């Protein structure tokens, strides 16, 4: 711990009981000696136990079969999720959406996010009723172990937009964080093996003995890891290590349009790299809460959906402001009006802009 960090000690220590995950940015969470004494494993185990407990509270929301799949594999694939007519309506609404978008080029991949906030949701009524309906939300709640309103976006991934850039950081196996958490993709177009399918290591969401021993080892030096993702608490793992942990073979989810994939992304996963330019359009959802809470409900933002949307815009505003102050470069920015399928316009210069 550096001397200038001492006055913040209480704040750093309080973060032990939050979803904070960065070993690098928090000298308590990243402390080698505390992690030798078991701090990381303590958080990991307690968060896992609370997650199981919350999932048990939500068990009646979904079928026994779906529960078994999520409990066993850490992910679930729902092919033909919507009836064809509803899906057609939803797809037309989403592909026709023309609105302000955020984009980031990470490695050789451009990702576009269009927030499905109150304003955009108002333009897509069929989509809205699906995304606010029980079939979608109950699966998401169980997988994420919280009954919370997820963040919703249209996500378009354009692969290989830059020729000589390093690969996208997401194309290496990693775990997003140390506790149960959920991401979901409802694909609007077929995802063939070349359009960077989501790949998941079945069963890798389970905090078993081998996994915990591996994490304990990694936690000792994660704060100074050369892998930025590991230092930030999204532990990266090599294919050899995965084999040593005796996981099943990774499943690459090249699936048809109208497939819903929901995953606990504390399990190991990646975006399969793609050799050529391809695009992947989905409705993307994620949700993350304090992993130490013993109860699954109690989300006051469910009663105030508009507030939920503002929260995200406020976060982006702050993120852009910090960037404008010169503390961070590259990354996410508003790029003006786009549809989900507008081809990428590669103007890499400049900071965040509106309109």
Ligand X SMILES: O=C(O)CCC(=O)C(=O)O
CB 133 to ligand X: min, Å: 23
CB 74 to Fe ion: min, Å: 13
Using the rule CB under 5 A, is 168 a contact of Fe ion? no
The span from the CA of 307 to the CA of 63, in Å, is 32
Do 147 and 14 touch, CB atoms closer than 8 A? no
Using the rule CB under 6 A, is 112 a contact of ligand X? no
Q: Which two tokens stand for residue 311?
A: 């929260």
Nearer to ligand X, 46 or 106 (CB): 106
Alpha-carbon dihedral 156, 269, 40, 30, rounded to 10 degrees: -50
Query: CB under 5 to 8 A by kind: which of Fe ion, ligand X, none does 31 bind?
Result: none
CB 321 to Fe ion: min, Å: 26
Which one of residues 26, 170, 181, 258 is an interface residue with ligand X (CB under 6 A)? 170
- DSSP E strand stretches across 188-289: 198-200, 251-252, 260-264, 269-271, 279-287
Q: Is the dihedral of CA 100, 106, 107, 111 positive or negative?
A: negative
Of 262-301, binders to ligand X (CB under 6 A) are 265, 269, 271
Using the rule CB under 6 A, is 102 a contact of ligand X? no
The span from the CA of 262 to the CA of 241, in Å, is 25
Nearer to Fe ion, 19 or 53 (CB): 19
Nearer to ligand X, 142 or 198 (CB): 198
Using the rule CB under 5 A, is 103 a contact of Fe ion? no
Using the rule CB under 5 A, is 117 a contact of Fe ion? no
Site size for Fe ion, by CB under 5 A?
1
The span from the CA of 258 to the CA of 138, in Å, is 18
H or E segment and range at residue 104: strand 99-106
Using the rule CB under 6 A, is 236 a contact of ligand X? no
Using the rule CB under 5 A, is 176 a contact of Fe ion? yes
Do 151 and 114 touch, CB atoms closer than 8 A? no
Give me the residues that bind Fe ion (CB under 5 A), please: 176
Give me the residues that bind ligand X (CB under 6 A), please: 170, 176, 183, 198, 265, 269, 271
């Amino acid at each position: 711990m550096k001397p200038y960090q001492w006055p913040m000690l209480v704040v750093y220590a309080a973060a032990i009981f939050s979803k904070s995950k960065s070993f690098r940015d928090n000298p308590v969470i990243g402390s080698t000696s505390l992690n030798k004494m078991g701090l990381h494993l303590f958080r990991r185990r307690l968060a896992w136990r609370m997650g199981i407990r919350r999932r048990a509270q939500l068990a009646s929301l979904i079928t026994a079969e779906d529960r078994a799949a999520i409990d066993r594999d850490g992910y679930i694939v729902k092919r033909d999720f919507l009836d064809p007519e509803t899906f057609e309506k939803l797809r037309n609404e989403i592909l026709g959406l023309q609105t302000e978008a955020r984009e980031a080029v990470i490695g050789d991949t451009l990702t576009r996010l269009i927030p499905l906030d109150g304003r955009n949701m108002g333009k897509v009524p069929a989509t809205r009723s699906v995304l606010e309906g029980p079939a979608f939300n109950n699966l998401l709640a169980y997988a994420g172990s919280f009954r919370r309103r997820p963040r919703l976006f249209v996500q378009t991934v354009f692969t290989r937009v830059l020729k000589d850039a390093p690969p996208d950081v997401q194309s290496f196996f990693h775990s997003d964080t140390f506790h149960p958490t959920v991401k979901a993709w409802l694909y609007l177009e077929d995802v063939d093996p070349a359009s960077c399918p989501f790949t998941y290591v079945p069963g890798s969401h389970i905090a078993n003995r081998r996994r915990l021993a591996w994490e304990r080892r990694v936690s000792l030096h994660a704060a100074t890891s050369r892998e930025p993702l590991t230092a930030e608490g999204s532990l990266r793992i090599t294919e050899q290590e995965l084999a040593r942990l005796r996981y099943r073979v990774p499943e690459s989810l090249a699936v048809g349009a109208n497939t819903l994939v929901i995953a606990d992304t504390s399990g190991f996963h990646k975006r399969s790299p793609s050799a050529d330019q391809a695009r992947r359009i989905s409705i993307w959802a994620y949700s993350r809460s304090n992993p130490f809470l013993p109860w699954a409900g109690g989300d006051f933002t469910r009663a105030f959906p508009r507030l939920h949307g503002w929260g995200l815009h406020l976060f982006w505003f702050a993120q852009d402001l910090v960037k404008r102050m010169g503390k961070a470069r590259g990354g996410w920015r508003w790029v003006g009006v786009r549809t989900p399928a507008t081809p990428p316009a590669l103007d890499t210069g400049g900071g965040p802009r509106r309109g």
